[in-house]
C-alpha cells in the first residue's frame, strides 16, 4: 500500500447517485457527502486504487447509511441495502447484488470480515471505521494520511449529525446509541 493517498473529493457517479436523495437528506447533506468522500478515499487506498472496484465502492458508500434519512430509522442497514439493490436493478448498474449487499451490511463489523467478496467488503469496512472514529482507529493508515484527507474534505459536523439522529430517532441519545449498537454493529 503506497504512503500517499489519492484523495477523492469529487465523482460524477457519486453526485448522480446522491441527486435523488439530496432533498431527503436535507441539511445533513454536506456532512454525509463529506463522510462518503472520505470513506471512498480510504477504501480505495486499501484497495490499492483498483479502478475496477471503484464504481461498486462509490455506490455502496452513497447508500451505506441512507436508511437513516429515507426511513428515519436507526436500524438502517437493511433499508440502506434495499435502496441500493432496488436502484441497482432499476437502473441496470450490473453490480453483483450479494457484493453490494455485503459491502453495506458489514461496514460496521467490529472484527475483520471473512467471507465472499472479502477484499472489497474489508476495504469498505476499514474505510468506514477510520472516518467514523475521526481517525482514532486508523487501520494501518498514518496520522498524516488521515489528516490529509480530513484537511481536504470538510467534516461539517458529521459526528454531531449522527448523535442528533440517535437522540431524535431513538428518544434520547443513550437509547438511540444503544439501538444503533444492537442493530447496526456486527461482531
Whether 177 maps to a domain, the answer reads: yes
Partners of 186 in the beta sheet? 109
Q: What is the CATH number of the domain that holds 104?
A: 1.10.3210
C-alpha cell at 151: 484537511
Is the pLDDT score of 71 beyond 80?
yes
Whether 100 maps to a domain, the answer reads: yes
Is the pLDDT score of 148 beyond 60?
yes
**What is the largest distance, in Å, between two alpha-carbon atoms of the chain?**
45
Q: Rounded distance, CA 32 to CA 157, Å? A: 9
* Domain boundaries, position 120: 12-183
**Looking at 2-6, 56-60, 77-81, 148-152, which range is the least confident one?**
2-6
Percent of the residues in the chain that have a pLDDT greater than 70, as a whole number: 98
pLDDT interval class at 1 (50, 70, 90)? very low
Phi, psi angle pair for 109, to nearest 5°: -65, 130
Is the pLDDT score of 96 beyond 80?
yes
Whether 149 maps to a domain, the answer reads: yes
Whether 23 maps to a domain, the answer reads: yes
pLDDT interval class at 121 (50, 70, 90)? very high
164-173 pLDDT, tens digit per residue, is 999 999 998 8
Whether 67 maps to a domain, the answer reads: yes
Whether 55 maps to a domain, the answer reads: yes
Whether 163 maps to a domain, the answer reads: yes
The stretch 77-85 carries a mean pLDDT of 97
Mean pLDDT, the chain, integer: 95
Domain count of the chain? Answer: 1
Whether 157 maps to a domain, the answer reads: yes
Amino acid at each position: 500500500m503506497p504512503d500517499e493517498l489519492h484523495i477523492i473529493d469529487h465523482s460524477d457517479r457519486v453526485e448522480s447517485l446522491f441527486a435523488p436523495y439530496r432533498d431527503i437528506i436535507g441539511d445533513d447533506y454536506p456532512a454525509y457527502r463529506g463522510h462518503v468522500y472520505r470513506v471512498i478515499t480510504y477504501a480505495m487506498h486499501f484497495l490499492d486504487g483498483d479502478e475496477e472496484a471503484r464504481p461498486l465502492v462509490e455506490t455502496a458508500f452513497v447508500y451505506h447509511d441512507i436508511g437513516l434519512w429515507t426511513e428515519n430509522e436507526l436500524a438502517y442497514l437493511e433499508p440502506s441495502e434495499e435502496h441500493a439493490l432496488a436502484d441497482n436493478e432499476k437502473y441496470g448498474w450490473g453490480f453483483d447484488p450479494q457484493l453490494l449487499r455485503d459491502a453495506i451490511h458489514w461496514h460496521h463489523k467490529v472484527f475483520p470480515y471473512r467471507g465472499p467478496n472479502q477484499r472489497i467488503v474489508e476495504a469498505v469496512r476499514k474505510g468506514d471505521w477510520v472516518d467514523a472514529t475521526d481517525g482514532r482507529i486508523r487501520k494501518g493508515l498514518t496520522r498524516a494520511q488521515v489528516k490529509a484527507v480530513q484537511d481536504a474534505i470538510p467534516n461539517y459536523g458529521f459526528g454531531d449529525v449522527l448523535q442528533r439522529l440517535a437522540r431524535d430517532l431513538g428518544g434520547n441519545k443513550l437509547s438511540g446509541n444503544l439501538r444503533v449498537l444492537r442493530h447496526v454493529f456486527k461482531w
